[in-house]
Amino acid sequence: MHYTGEVYRPPLEARTVLLEVTRGCSHNECAFCVMYKRTPFSIAPMENIISDLEEVRTYAPNIDRIYLLNGDPFVLSFDKLYEIGGLINHYLPNVKTITSYASFYNLKNKSVDELKKLKALGYDELYIGVETAYEKALLNINKGCNLNEYKEGLEKLKSAGMSYHAILMMGVAGAGNGEVNAKATAEFLNIYPPKSVFPMTTSVQYGSKLYEMRQRGDFVEASLGEIIKEQIILVENLDLPEDTLFSSGHMVNLVNVTHRWKHKDQILDKLNYALDNLSQDILNSTNEREAR
């Protein structure tokens, strides 16, 4: 298999075959991110993709799911994605779901009709770094879209019947802004509820633009206590189907809460318990990262 530079995939895809179709990230300008700084964006040669599919067919011919690498493969044109989807269906005819990281930035060059055609090939369950729908914070982190473009992208997904997983950044609006951030983000997600919600605690990584903003005093980190409160407000304002997965089980989070939405009361109970029982030293601290 061909893998270039950093390789990242969501925790839910731990057992999914990874197929490299792009390297790095096409945007690579998000203020909080250093994931792909050492790997320039490029498109994997088609001969590599075919070779990898042939290899997968030899050891896992019956897989029903495949994950495309790397940072945002959905930036590829409709024609390119359609060609890749056709190859996947040819070499691995049991594949029902083709998934990857994506962003609303990637949906600007896709029509609803094109998304429907990709959905018919198996493209679905995209992992979208929504991060926030509070416009001030959204513009600060430079996701490549404003809030109206976010909404246009979400409406495209909804019209195409394509599902998505929402990755959120708790604390990304900075200290004192947790409530407005949580309510704005919940209102946005309620337009077209995701298949899963993954809240993540914002980490200020050395070498990121967010780190520079903090050094200048333009960004003040929320405390861990504020972030738990923000998550509580988010949950209170979300209106999701009962089978939606809500999980803060990633290692960046202080509190691990994983339940289906039908157990919303248990999600809130665990978050409130943490807020009431963790020490003030912990609640007043931040998720600051200084490692180089």
Question: What's the pLDDT tens digit per position in 187-221?
Answer: 999 999 999 999 999 999 999 999 999 999 999 99
Q: Rounded CA gap, 21 and 76, in Å?
A: 9
Task: Label residue 47 exposed, middle or buried (CB < 10 Å: 0-12, 13-18, 19+).
Answer: exposed
Q: What is the CATH number of domain 127-292?
A: 3.30.750.200
Give the predicted TM-score (pTM) of the model: 0.95
What region does 131 belong to: left with phi over 0, alpha with psi -120 to 50, or beta? left
d(CA 239, CA 9): 27
243: Cβ–Cβ under 8 A, 6 or more apart, which residues? 260, 261, 262
Residue 3 three-state SS: coil
Q: Where in the chain is the domain with CATH 3.30.750.210?
A: 1-124
126-131/196-201 β-pairing? unpaired
Angle between helices 178-189 and 147-160 (to 10 degrees): 30
What one-letter code names the amino acid at 20? E
pLDDT at residue 287, as a whole number = 74
Angle between helix axes 112-121 and 147-160 (nearest 10 degrees) is 50
CATH 3.30.750.200 maps onto the chain at 127-292
> Residue 70: is the preceding peptide bond cis (ω within 30°)?
yes
Architecture per CATH, domain 1-124, reads as: 2-Layer Sandwich (3.30)
Q: Say how far apart CA 262 and CA 117 lie, in whole Å.
A: 32
What is the residue-level pLDDT of the chain in tens, covering all 292 positions?
999 998 999 999 999 999 999 999 999 999 999 999 999 999 999 999 999 999 999 999 999 999 999 999 999 999 999 999 999 999 999 999 999 999 999 999 999 999 999 999 999 999 999 999 999 999 999 999 999 999 999 999 999 999 999 999 999 999 999 999 999 999 999 999 999 999 999 999 999 999 999 999 999 999 999 999 999 999 999 999 999 999 998 888 889 999 999 999 999 999 999 999 999 999 998 876 544 3
Structure tokens that stand for 45 in this block: 């040669």
Owner of token pair 């997965």: 245
C-alpha span between 261 and 263 (Å, rounded): 5
